[in-house]
Amino acid sequence: MTVELRHLRAFLVIAEEGNITRAAARLHTGQPALSRTLQALEAHLGVRLVDRSTHHLRLTDAGRDFRARAATAVAAVDAALDPARAGTWPLRLGHSWSALGQHTATVMRLWQRAHPKMPLELLRMDDRSAGLASGRVDAALVRNPVRSNGVRSVHLYDEPRVAAVSADSPLAEHPTLTLADLAGHPVIVNPTTGTTTIALWDTTHRPTTVLEVDNTDDWLAAIAAAQGIGVSSAATATIHPFPGVVYRPLTDAPALPLHLAWNDPPSHPAVTELAAFIRETASRQQDPPPSPSSSQD
């Protein structure tokens, strides 16, 4: 058989819904027809993509790997056929929060100057892969490497960590803080895209209360309302000034690595060039960013 785009779209909807019946309803087709489409795709690939032995449909290991490739292929076709993009080939860069911090505007401006017909589109995606797993971006800025077959990543640089505290908190009076200083306060975390967990603290000085939020905006609002403290990268202090929130350097917290990840094969030929471009641009910016300890007072 010849695999068509409809086979890939059908599989992606099945993977997203986790249920053949719901997927068939979304695709406006019958359940038996959708099952046959899935079976035909599996027969062509020679692997089982979906485990049907349980009450809840699950992707096999091969299915999870193929999902990333299928999403990339579908997104590439959609981008190629988008009338709004005719004559250009944008490079879509995903991020979950804070992008490249102080380097964001410089990288985008210099890239546009060097590649006038290849705009760099910065897209915020509230998922851990920053849009890479769904194929909505060509490359993604991630603090934790994406551990999946068919995904490559390179280390760009390391970011220092800062504490985010309410402007009314006594902690805001200190020019710098330590993790132990924060241990007596509730910590606010974003389990969807954030990197901070209770494991950042040692077992003897650890917050006893953890409050979870869904996104960066809610994280900032909760801190401003003195519901707890937060820990993030220095990039957050640059990109997300917020009324009632001050940022203080954490002197004993490990640096946070920033990676560029993309699907292999890449959906855009300039992805590896972008990685080198970001590292070179960041290394040229010798002047330190505004001190988080003073910019939010």
Residue 191, domain CATH: 3.40.190.10
Q: Is residue 74 part of a domain?
A: yes
Measured distance CA(255)–CA(65) in Å, rounded: 30
Question: How many CB atoms are located within 10 Å of the residue 91 CB?
Answer: 22
Q: How far apart are CA 102 and CA 169, in angstroms?
A: 26
Please report where in the chains the tokens 């349980």 appear, as a residue. 54
pLDDT at 209: 95
Position 74 scores a pLDDT of 84
| End position of a domain, from candidates 80, 101, 126 | 80
The confidence score (pLDDT) of residue 69 equals 82
Alpha-carbon torsion 80, 86, 90, 94, what sign?
A: negative
In a domain? residue 194:
yes
Structure tokens at 78: 């959609």
User: Given this model, what pLDDT does residue 280 score?
Assistant: 94
- Residue 199 is given by DSSP the state G
Q: Is residue 229 part of a domain?
A: yes
Three-state DSSP class for 231? strand
CATH of residue 49: 1.10.10.10
Of 210, 234, 249, the last residue of a domain is: 249
Domain assignment of residue 122, yes or no: no
* Residue 145 domain flag: no
226 in Cβ contact with 166 (< 8 Å): yes
Q: What is the rounded CA–CA span in Å between residue 103 and residue 289? A: 9
Mode of pairing for the β-strands spanning 139-142 and 120-124: unpaired
- Tell me the per-residue pLDDT of 39-78, one tens digit each, with 9 for 90 and over: 999 999 999 999 877 667 889 988 888 888 888 788 778 7
Residues contacting residue 80 through CB under 8 Å, at least 6 positions apart:
none
pLDDT for 83: 64
Total tally of structural domains belonging to the chain:
2
Supply the pLDDT for residue 290: 47
Collect the ranges in the chain with pLDDT lower than 70.
1, 54-55, 79-80, 83-87, 286-297
Is 132 part of any domain?
Answer: no
185: enclosing H helix or E strand: none
CA–CA dist 87, 256 (Å, integer): 38
pLDDT by residue (tens digit) across 212-227? 999 999 999 999 999 9
Quick count: other Cβ atoms within 10 Å of Cβ 288? 8
Asked whether residue 261 is domain-assigned, the answer is: no
| Confidence (pLDDT) at 55 | 64
The whole-number pLDDT of residue 4 equals: 85
**Structural domain span for residue 33:** 5-80
Whether residue 279 is contained in a domain is answered as no
